[in-house]
Amino acid sequence: MHYDQALVGPDWFNSYDKRAFEAEIVQGMRPAIVQLVAQTIKISYDCYGYMPFSQQRVGQGGTLRPVLKLQTLPSQNEPWRTADDDVDLSMKVIRDMGIDELLQALRISTDPDNPSDTALFGFRQLLPENVENLGKRAVEHGYLDLFEEWQPKFEAVPSALYDISSILDDTYKPGTIEYDIAKMQMQCAYHDRASISLDMNLFRCIVMGGAKRLAKYGLLKLVDSADAPPKHESMPELLPPPPRLAICG
């Protein structure tokens, strides 16, 4: 399908073309997602007796909706039921790769004429009280103007599985004011400049991040070294195309 390359900002993230683009990605990945989810459920259940569970997540406008998640961590104060290092590594990889979130990808519609309440790329929504707390922190640290620019833009972008600001996690420590500022600035930029090219680059960054995490655990070898995900200082480019890597197992 041909997608309109000229759609930018709200014209893109509210468009039929974006829904069709995401539907194509999800449709193509669905067999792999189903296999990954099935294997994760098997590991979780065989080793720990864990099954998928329902969790409340924030949707558009701060509304709560139930989602299914795969349990990869013991409940609070519950010890691991086995000390097998291989199993523990498997669970760490599953968490670090975000495979425990993949059940949510299956709720993304593959029919652009009947969209779901979750997009593939957009913003992870916040509870109203979390937005209020962010505003208080912005006032305290002298970034009220940025917060006032960010809030309506944040509310306008669809609730999604993958947030562009997720690439900041390797650059800033979540919960710090530096992280909050970088996240607001990056989300403002996405609101203004979202496009199919930007979403494609975000998808590549997600895949590349997964490859790097597998390499961290020694499960893949990256033949060529690669720069870290773009830092906040590279905001003018927002998301430059990541380098191509040869990956061998």
Residue 246's pLDDT is 36
Band of residue 37 on the pLDDT scale cut at 50, 70, 90: confident
Q: Between 191 and 98, where is the model more confident?
A: 191
pLDDT at 235 over 90: no
The residue extents of the domains of the chain are: 10-248
Dihedral sign from CA coordinates of 13, 16, 19, 24: negative
d(CA 22, CA 15): 11
E strands, 71-118, are none
pLDDT at 51 over 50: yes
pTM of the model: 0.72
Residues 231-240, mean pLDDT to the nearest whole number: 42
Residue 105's pLDDT is 79
Backbone torsions φ then ψ of 46, nearest 5 degrees: -60, -40
Band of residue 16 on the pLDDT scale cut at 50, 70, 90: very high
Residue 242's pLDDT is 40
List, for residues 94-133, the tens digit of each pLDDT value.
666 667 677 777 778 888 899 888 888 888 888 888 899 9
